[in-house]
Structure formats: structure tokens, C-alpha cells
Structure 1
Amino acid sequence: MNPALTRLSRAVHAAVAASLSLLLIVQPAAPAQASAPEKVVIMVGGITKLIYLPARLTEQLGYFKAEGLDVELLSQPAGVDAENELLSGGVQAVVGFYDHSIDLQAKGKEVKAIVVFGQVPGEVEMVATKQADTIKSMADVKGKTLGVTGLGSSTNFLTQYLANLKGVPSSQYTVLPVGADNSFIAAIRQNRIDAGMTTEPTVSQLLKSGDAKVLIDMRNVEGTRAALGGTYPASSLYVQSAWLDTHQQEAAKLARAFVKTLQYLHTHSAEEIAAQMPKDYVGSDKALYVSALKASLPMYTADGKMPADGPETVLKVLAGFNPSVKDRHIDLSRTFTNQFVNEVKP
């Protein structure tokens, strides 16, 4: 080859290489595509119940979005139905009672509460006014029909424990699943149940109408300790332990969002909180809803942490009537964690 042409070819190649190098240096990098947040579906065991108020209130206040979470809230009438959805993989988390984590461990399933909303159940055993003269305590429920939200629900657990405590085994009364809210009220009015366990705002509605009276009140710490012997952590956010192991970041974000809501509940009036809720939650009688909310505010924790004596009390209650819990060693440390709420800055 002609030496001149060879030198020219080398020069052209060098120029091209230099140009490419310069292009790579000055060419701005393509912006990284921000990955969409993973969707978290939360099943609530009765989303309009005030015991589970933090779920919808967190959404209303925009705290999920502020954490970059894509959260969808669904509702089932009873906590046991929500639990089944979690175990089947249909949802990633449940807002329900902490006692399910103990009951499930006895059945070989591992779930863990990561935020505790309620330090008490917020449940009330209501007796139909027509039966109030004959049912003056749980010792009087022999032969009666007692309403619960669902079979295997926390209301069912508590009903069995309270009756058994008074010497009445479950074989001596009938348990009828009647759901909550309007279906519970209808069951009382139609004489399908003689007494039953429900929450606010249903309690206030029944008291106002005169259809039922309070038999056992577990809406505050004093009433709960009198009935159960200690604080009874109830409404909480729980997840499958296997999911938690691989979704620490999502768990931390959920904890921050819910703790902010619990702090909101302790720094705002019932009227201000009610104003944040959808109209269909408050209903046509806003004054009744606000009154029910005021009665419920003492139940909420301020920081989402598990009360120190809570797990032992719940274990004692479940073991009091459930042989599968009583006969197995339950490792309470595997049923909850304060790890994520402890990381939330005040």
C-alpha cells in the first residue's frame, strides 16, 4: 500500500476515535427511570369501624403518598376473612386484631404485627334491651344466642373467653356470625341475637335508639383491665413474616405513615378528625359519629408500639379457651416487632 495512503488512513481512524471519545464524554447520561412503587394491598377487617380508623385516615391525610407508597385499602366484614386473604397471598397486609398472630402461630403460620393501633379491643358486649333483665353478666348466657362478626374472629375469641371465665363453656350457648354495623343492629332488632360484641359507631347507634345496653365495655384501659386482666393490644397492621423479610423498606414506610396518623389522633379534636373522613363514614348523624369518636380516642396508641404487658394478656385470653394455643409453646417474640415504629422520629 502507498505509504501516504497508509498514513492518511491512520489519521482518519485516529480522528474518528477521538471524536467518539469526545462524544461519550460530553453526551449527557440518559436520566434514570424512577421505578414505580410496589403496590401494597391492605385488607381491613371492617373499614368503617372506629377501631380501624387509622387505615382510612392515613389515606385521607395523604401520608401513604407522602411516603411514596401505592396503597389500596380493601374491606372484609370480619378480621378472620381478612386473615384468610393474607394467607392466600391475595393481599400484602391486614389491619386487624393482633391476637390472630398468636392463633396462627399455633396453627403453624407466621404473621407479625408491625404497628399497633389499639392498646385495648374497643369492643363492647351489648345486650338487647329486651334481654337486659335476664342477662346481667356473661354468667347468664346459657341457652342464649350471642352475635359475633364472624366465626374465628376476634369477637368470637373474646366472647368465648369472657363466657368461659364465668363458667359457661361454648357448648352451652350459640354463636351467630352477624357482621358489624347495620347487620349487627338488624340482628338485635330482629331478635336473632340476645347479646353480641361490636364496636363504635354501632355501640352509640344502639344506645341512642334504645335497642341495646352495655354489658361489658372494653373501649378504654380501665374497662379492659377489669374484663381481661390487662391491656389487650388489638387493632394493628400485620403481615406475613416471609413478606416482611424481603420488604423491609415498604414496612418502614408503612410504619412511618401510620405513626404520623396516630400522632394526629392525639393532637386533634374529634371534630377535626371527623372532618377528614368521607361523608359515608360519618353518616347522616355527624354529632353521633363525633360522640362515638370521642369515646374511642383513648384506645389508640400514640406511637404504634406494642404495650409491654399486651402480648402476655392476649396469650392468656386465647389459652383460656383454645386448646391448640394452650398446648403449644408460643414464641411471642415472633408475633410482633417494634423495629419499624422505633425508627420513626417524633
Structure 2
Amino acid sequence: MTRTTLNRRRFALLAAAAVAAPSLRAQGKPEKTKVAIAVGGKAAFYYLPLTISEQLGYFKAEGLDVEISDFAGGAKALQALMGNSADVVSGAYEHTINMQSKNQFIQSIVLMGRAPQIAMGVSVKAVPGYKGLADLRGKKIGVSAPGSSTNMVSNLVLSRAGIKATEVSYVGVGTGAGALAALRSGQIDAMCNTDPVMTMLEQKGDVRIISDTRTLKGTHEVFGGPMPAACFYTHSDFVRQNPNTCQALANAIVHGLKWLQTAGPSDIIKTVPESYLLGDRALYLASFNKVREAINIDGVLPEDGAKTALKALASFEPTVKPEKIDLAKTYTNDFARRAKDKFKA
């Protein structure tokens, strides 16, 4: 065999290896190392992967200096993005669809939740004789913030009973101690919120749960399919201009998701801030066990999940026309898949 033939064969082998292992290519440095993240109700389990990745230093490990601003609800976090005071939002995937219906293009880059983890409950004290959803007409319903995912889920549940959003009053109560106080003091008649708040109210006998998306089974019953929940979303232009930054963000979150797959209750308690426990460690852990399967495993958003979200939104939001929404522009799995390969998630 001639040296030329050998060199050709060696070149062919190297070329084949390069094609077969694109994920092994070195990741470039983030274009933007300081990243402002907006979130609506950071202490909720809905955003636990964000807190875990922050507390364990996974953003720093990716070369990022993140500043996280916490708002009363997802709608306020979205406003921060649209007002250019945040680069990225840790929020509900359905906002990407809602905004596209208004000709604003934002995109999910990594999925944290594969179920909304939102439950709706009626106050046992305020509505003692509750028989069905019709009893909520004219009532005050607490949500994290008007326009947030808790508000959207409530609208969906009520719409199935023929109740319009205008036939109830929505009150923003946040996702922490204020939400507990609002229901217990009688300021609201029902609540649609996340955990640990809902489990705490449920276990103390303050509410009767009437709709539950804290499990995959419950989510399927409410939405008729898988429903993507918390994600990192940002302007489509930001994704195009800062691919390495987006990859670093996805890496940090998927690293956190991987950690959560094997974390025990004591690991969670040691990692989250004390204030997140709302003064009741045992109930906080009971809440975690209830929502654990709702946390995503690998950061990837399922295609059928995007379709479920569009169908759900269109059922109660007249401005959302399914035929005018391009779902492919509402999310990308490119970053999540690379992060999944990197961390074997």
C-alpha cells in the first residue's frame, strides 16, 4: 500500500469521525456573560430547576454571571423581557404562543417542567356548599398574577363549564406566604396556584382541590395530552445573536435537571433557601414528592406538548388562531439536545 493511499485512508477516517461526533466540538465562549433572568414566583416548585442550577453554581460553571429578578407572577416577568430589562425569562412555555399571536416572536430554549404543577382549589370556608364549577360564577379567584399561567389554567378549567373569564374576579396573590394568607383570611373564594402553596392549603383542610396538573396523569386529564410548563424563553433575535450564551444557559439547567433525578428530600432542603419552606419543612417535602414527576428530565420539549398547549390556549383565548401560529418558531430543542448529550441526562 502506498503512502498516498495510507494518507487518503487516514484522512477519510478522520473526516468520518468528525461527522459522527459533532457534539464533541468545543463550545464557544458565551457572547454575553452577564445575563439578566426574570422569573415570576421563584420559590415555587415550578421553578425549582432554576434555583438548583443557581445554588449549585452551574451557571458559573458555564461562564455565566446571572442576575435573577423575582416578580409576583409570570406576566410581570414577561413584561420585563418585552421592556428590555431582562434578557431571558424563566416562565411558562404558553407565553411563546400567546406572544406570537400578537406578532412578537419569543422562543423556548430549554424545558424545565413537563407538567404545569398548578392546582385549583375552592375555599372550604368561603364556599362550604360547593357542588360544581358553576358555583364559582361571580367569585374571587386568587392567581399568582393576572395573565400568568395560573390565570390561564383557571380560564381553561372554567371555560369547560361555560364560565367566561369576565364572570369571575381574578386577584393576584403571588406564590408564597401572601397566597396562603389571602385564602385563609377570606380575601378570595378559590385559588389556582403552584406548590408548595396548594399542598399546604390542601393538607391543612383549607381547600378542596377541583383540578390538578401536579402529576402527568392529572395533566393529561385537564389538557388531553402532555403540557410543557416552565422553560427559559427569550426573543428569537437573542437566540440568533447569542447561540453560545443560550447553550450555556441550557447546559446549566440540564445539569440541574440531572441532579434532581437522583436528589433526595434532604438534598433539596439543604440546597433551597430557608424562606422557600414557608415555615413548614415537612409539608414542603410532601409537596416536592407530589410534583417530582412533573420536573423535566432532559430539557427537551416534546412536539406533541407544543400542540397540546396551542389547543388549550385557543380554547379560551379568542386572539389565538391555531392556523396562524407556527409552533416551530416557539421553541428549539437544539441547545437542550446538546446539553443532554453533555450531561448524559
Written as runs of structure 1 = structure 2, the 5 A alignment for 1:112-127 is 112-127=107-122
Q: CA deviation at 1:288?
A: 1.7
Cα distance per residue 1:170-219 (max 9 Å; x no partner): 23222222222122112212222111101111112212332222111110
Partner amino acid, structure 2, of 1:312: K
Written as runs of structure 1 = structure 2, the 5 A alignment for 1:59-208 is 59-131=54-126, 133-208=128-203
Check 1:156–1:36 CA distance in 2 against 1; reply closer, same or farther (3 A cut). Answer: closer
Q: CA deviation at 1:273?
A: 2.0
Partner amino acid, structure 1, of 2:330: T
Partner of 1:263: 258
Cα distance per residue 1:113-150 (max 9 Å; x no partner): 11111111000001101245433443432222211122
Partner of 2:328: 333
Where does the alignment leave 5 or more consecutive residues of structure 1 unmatched? 1-33
CA contact (8 A) 2:43 2:175 kept: no
Partner of 2:21: none
Partner of 1:16: none
Cα distance per residue 1:36-92 (max 9 Å; x no partner): 962001111111011101111101111111111111111001000000000111011
Check 1:228–1:37 CA distance in 2 against 1; reply closer, same or farther (3 A cut). Answer: closer
Cα distance per residue 1:220-263 (max 9 Å; x no partner): 11011111111111111111111111000000011111001111
CA contact (8 A) 2:150 2:194 kept: no
Written as runs of structure 1 = structure 2, the 5 A alignment for 1:222-241 is 222-241=217-236
Secondary structure of the 2:141 match is: strand
Written as runs of structure 1 = structure 2, the 5 A alignment for 1:205-216 is 205-216=200-211
My pick for the range that moved more, 125-134 or 94-103, is 125-134
Partner amino acid, structure 1, of 2:289: K
RMSD: 1.8
In our comparison, the structure showing a higher alpha carbon Rg is: 1
Percent identical pairs in the alignment equals 35
Q: Does 1:278 find its partner at 2:255?
A: no
CA contact (8 A) 1:118 1:236 kept: yes
TM-score between the two structures when normalised by the length of structure 2: 0.86
Partner amino acid, structure 2, of 1:194: D
Secondary structure of the 1:130 match is: coil
Q: Distance in 2 between matches of 1:48 and 1:126?
A: 20
TM-score between the two structures when normalised by the length of structure 1: 0.86
Written as runs of structure 1 = structure 2, the 5 A alignment for 1:282-321 is 282-321=277-316
Partner amino acid, structure 2, of 1:236: C
Partner amino acid, structure 2, of 1:67: E
Partner amino acid, structure 2, of 1:190: S
Q: Does 1:52 find its partner at 2:47?
A: yes
Partner amino acid, structure 2, of 1:182: A
Q: Distance in 2 between matches of 1:277 and 1:292?
A: 14
CA contact (8 A) 2:120 2:190 kept: yes
Partner of 1:220: 215
Check 1:284–1:144 CA distance in 2 against 1; reply closer, same or farther (3 A cut). Answer: closer
